[in-house]
Structure 1
Amino acid sequence: MRFSTFLAALLPVGAALAQNTTWTVKVGENGTLSYNPTSVQAQVGDTIAFNFSVAKNHTVTQSTFANPCQNLTNPDGSTGIDSGFMFVNATNVTSFPQWSFTLNNASAPLWFYCRQTGHCEQGMVFAVNPTAEKSFNAFQANAMNSTAANGTATSSTSGSSGASGSGSSNASGTGSSSVGSPSASATGKGNNNGAGAVRMSGAAIAMTAVGVVAGVLL
């Protein structure tokens, strides 16, 4: 009887865990300056995993709707999360880096851009939970109407470094198998404004250092 009660108590927990989704986002797919998909509608506990699988040097950097191409800076001076530059060399690549974070607050949209020189201004932006009032299209238009801003042309990192690979935009486990295999955990610098735990793959740990040096590559 007690065992049955224990199992019944665990059922809601198991159901909640089963509902968590991993959203896989391809960064720079087919050499384009884009994130695919361009936005996701995620819930608390969902993971957004970014796969870097092209011979480019991109970032996933948190910004704001009003200033799409500038690093998010909070009033206390802390910054949003940042993958760091993920340089992928097409020669003899056997594994690709992946960078991901878990959403811990879905009450407001999160905005991201690539801070490689000129990429944001060409529309390379991404959104989590955009709304009708603050849509992805409006965010991207703001980015394309902006000029090169602080953080866009630098190769230094701000916050957590990250990783990537290749995947699809499908939900519920499509990209989860590649998240953290192997993995390291890190915490973004300062207030992450809704983005929780940050993780990077083993390939990203090495490639992040290369990306910092090669940050001027397009």
Structure 2
Amino acid sequence: MQMHMGLVAAIAIAAARAAVHKIDVGKGGRTYTPDVVKAEKGDVLEFRFVGGIHDAVTGDMSRPCQPAARKDGAFSSGVFKGSPSTSEVFKVTVDSKDPMMVYCSVGMHCSDGMVMVINPTADSSLDAFKAAAKGKDGKSPGGAFGGQLGSPSV
């Protein structure tokens, strides 16, 4: 029983340390705000759809505006009609410190620069991803996966 309580305490402490990164989607147009996030393993990305019609999809630097393979860490929010008074968000728990490319698959949004980077590196910067996405058609993975809907954190 003591070992069980110790495990519960360790999990609670780890959860308390996880940061929540609030990302506004569609605030002021075809944007993710912020468009660069540095996150630790266990942190939560909270996509808040505040304007327009958008989604958030993990992509690949070598295939911009195309969904990444459905593997650990990949996600798609599904399409949302944003509202400043949104009461529902899409939450993703970060499972690695590797770079993640995120794009909007709606229409030409990705091509127009609606992209962001989680944990950028010199080889996977926001500027490089935007340049690679220019002129590419956005492709939807066809539905939500890899995260969960929930209430916005305070």
CA 1:122 to 1:95, structure 2 compared with 1: closer, same or farther past 3 Å? Answer: closer
Residue in 2 that maps onto 1:148: 137
Residue in 2 that maps onto 1:105: 96
Is the counterpart of residue 115 in structure 1 residue 105 in structure 2?
yes
Runs of 4+ in 1 over 4 A off after TM superposition: 7-15
CA 1:149 to 1:79, structure 2 compared with 1: closer, same or farther past 3 Å? Answer: farther
Is the counterpart of residue 157 in structure 1 residue 142 in structure 2?
yes
The question of whether the paired residues in 1 share the 8 Å contact of 2:104 and 2:138 is answered with: no
1: CA distance, partners of 2:67 / 2:61? 11
Between the aligned residues of both structures, percent identity stands at 25
Residue in 2 that maps onto 1:19: 17
CA 1:51 to 1:67, structure 2 compared with 1: closer, same or farther past 3 Å? Answer: same
How big is the shift at 1:143? 1.0
Residue in 2 that maps onto 1:81: 75
Unpaired runs of at least 5, structure 1: 161-187, 189-197, 204-218
2: CA distance, partners of 1:60 / 1:110? 12
Q: Which amino acid aligns with 1:85?
A: V
Residue in 1 that maps onto 2:149: 200
Deviations 1:159-211 (A, max 9, x none): 42xxxxxxxxxxxxxxxxxxxxxxxxxxx3xxxxxxxxx220379xxxxxxxx
Q: Which amino acid aligns with 2:16?
A: A
How big is the shift at 1:141? 1.2
TM-score, normalised with respect to structure 1: 0.59
The question of whether the paired residues in 2 share the 8 Å contact of 1:68 and 1:112 is answered with: no
Unpaired runs of at least 5, structure 2: none
RMSD: 3.2
How big is the shift at 1:137? 1.2
The question of whether the paired residues in 2 share the 8 Å contact of 1:71 and 1:79 is answered with: no
